[in-house]
Amino acid sequence: MSPRHILDIASLSGDQVRLILDLAQRPIASLGRPLEGLGAALIFEKPSNRTRHSMEIAVMQLGGHPVYTRGEEVGIDVRETAEDIAAVMAGYHGVLAARVFKHDVVVRMARVSGVPVVNMLSDHSHPLQALADALTMQQTIGDLAGRSVAWSGDWNNVARSLAEICVLLGARFSIATPAGYAPQPAEVRRINGLGSGEFVAGTDPFAVVTGAEAVHTDVWVSMGQEAETARKEQAFAAYKVTASLMERAAPQAKFFHCLPAHRGHEVDADVIDGPASRVIPQAHNRLHSARGALAFIMGVK
């Protein structure tokens, strides 16, 4: 049987996502120790706080031993190919996880790995973040089916995974981006085909946020895009999440951000540090959802 990888939310079914979210909330001891005696290679081509720490602790909580490895050290496709790295490491570890610049690298690793591969963020997606986002929204506003979730800002890796998980779980996900930064129509169609929810793309942040129960954003300039900073800061200025934008959302709407955040850029301080903000529980849920995801790939039911 081929290993259970987590490269994208789109490759999971709604039932699998619900199982991961359930596993995330179970007492740790009830999960057994599915990684007992096993290593987990955690390879990072980019910086990380939440992902590294939550994954290391989640591996430990499931009985395993995390081995943090900097991208430069193994030199993916520089010192040796992604395939050679994965095939070799699969002989040492029970899990391989990687944060990479190019999504194709985790796809290629999964193709040759005899153990599960987890995408810890690529240019394309951030599935572990979406699992924590869904868990936090569920705990905050209840079951996501039929709920309205909005995003004002960049259509990026985090937004894509969040759109996918919302549609899988039956929510309506609306995004406002500047023209020129919108999801391609084919991608909107693809995501709409994933489940019973709905994905809608527009350009007016006030229209998109109207009535939403959860309002999300992320940085305008993702890791690896630094050369685009000046252009994007200008293009996204009207997409900042401000108190007046939040006023258009539902009365009890909550604010979410995967962090790290840039106050005064994609979100104002009075929103991210205000009473509607759920960003710290959201960050803490990275640990619980990482544990759920690891338990899932190790076959815990």
**Judged by CB under 6 A, does residue 67 bind ligand CP?**
no
Any alpha helices (H) in 142-265, and if so which ranges? 157-168, 185-192, 205-209, 229-235, 243-247
**Judged by CB under 6 A, does residue 156 bind ligand NVA?**
yes
3-state class (DSSP) for residue 123: coil
Binder of residue 219, out of ligand NVA, ligand CP, none (CB less than 5 to 8 A by kind): ligand NVA
Task: Give min distance, CB of 142 to ligand NVA, in A.
Answer: 26
Unique residue bearing structure tokens 């309002």: 215
The CA distance from 93 to 286, in Å, is 22
User: Pick from 8, 45, 51, 297: which binds ligand CP (CB under 6 A)?
Assistant: 51
Residue 8's alpha-carbon distances to 13, 60, 245, in angstroms, are 11, 24, 30
Give, as one character, the DSSP assignment of residue 241. B
**Judged by CB under 6 A, does residue 49 bind ligand CP?**
yes
* E strand map for the chain: 39-44, 65-70, 95-99, 117-119, 148-152, 172-176, 198-202, 214-217, 254-257
Task: Give min distance, CB of 259 to ligand CP, in A.
Answer: 5
Which span sits near ligand CP by CB under 6 A: 7-15, 43-51, 72-80, 240-248?
43-51
Measured from the CB atom, is 44 or 300 closer to ligand NVA?
44
Binder of residue 188, out of ligand CP, ligand NVA, none (CB less than 5 to 8 A by kind): none
Q: Is 78 exposed, middle or buried (0-12, 13-18, 19+ CB in 10 A)?
A: exposed
User: Pick from 152, 174, 222, 282: which binds ligand NVA (CB under 6 A)?
Assistant: 222
Measured from the CB atom, is 33 or 262 closer to ligand NVA?
262
Which span sits near ligand CP by CB under 6 A: 31-39, 42-50, 144-152, 161-169?
42-50
φ and ψ of 92, to 5 deg: -105, -25
Beta-sheet strand order (sheet of 214-217): 198-202, 172-176, 148-152, 214-217, 254-257
Task: Give min distance, CB of 247 to ligand CP, in A.
Answer: 27
User: Residues 235-274: x/- map of binding to ligand NVA (CB under 6 A)?
Assistant: -----------------------x----------------
The residues binding ligand CP (CB under 6 A) are: 48-51, 121, 129, 258-259
The residues binding ligand NVA (CB under 6 A) are: 121, 156-158, 218-219, 222-223, 258
